[in-house]
Amino acid sequence: KQEVTQIPAALSVPEGENLVLNCSFTDSAIYNLQWFRQDPGKGLTSLLLIQSSQREQTSGRLNASLDKSSGRSTLYIAASQPGDSATYLCAVDSGGSNYKLTFGKGTLLTVNP
């Protein structure tokens, strides 16, 4: 059974700092991995999707990498801003025809002005 772990559970940084969020998964046979952002009391916003054949994806100040063999993904946020404060969730699709995602518990990021 696929398990997804996110470390750290919470992170507090000063504005402007570059930071890395970590995601690990137990079964390396994944189809794709998706990073989401969740603001308090809100739904999830998709940030980046990395397919199993890809090593990384970039969107603005965000860069996500994927190392299937080691079961790891990182989300790099450059020049963090207070508006980046949210919970960041990692989810993996272990393949098959049903597109089911297994989620980590998330990292709560606080960017202090």
Partner 1 sequence: DGGITQSPKYLFRKEGQNVTLSCEQNLNHDAMYWYRQDPGQGLRLIYYSQIVNDFQKGDIAEGYSVSREKKESFPLTVTSAQKNPTAFYLCASSSQLQLEQYFGPGTRLTVT
Site string for partner 1, 10-39 (x = CB under 8 A): ---------------------xx-x-x---
End-to-end distance of the chain based on CA atoms, in angstroms? 41
Which residue lies nearer to partner 1 by CB, 15 or 39?
39
**Residues near partner 1 (CB under 8 A), total:** 26
Phi, psi for residue 2 in degrees, rounded to 5:
-70, 135
| Unique residue bearing structure tokens 């989620």 | 103
Member of 4, 21, 75, 109 binding partner 1 (CB under 8 A): 4
Closest approach of partner 1 to the CB of residue 77, in Å: 20
Q: Coil, helix or strand for 31? A: coil
Q: Is 97 in the site for partner 1 (CB under 8 A)?
A: yes
- Give the strand pairing for 86-93 and 32-38: antiparallel
- Under the binding rule (CB under 8 A), the answer on residue 53 touching partner 1 is no
Question: CA-CA distance, 7 to 21, in Å (whole number)?
Answer: 7
When the beta carbons of 14 and 41 are compared against partner 1, the nearer one is 41
Tell me the chain's radius of gyration from C-alpha atoms. 14
Contact set with partner 1 (CB under 8 A): 4, 31-32, 34, 36, 41-46, 49, 51, 89, 91, 93, 97-106
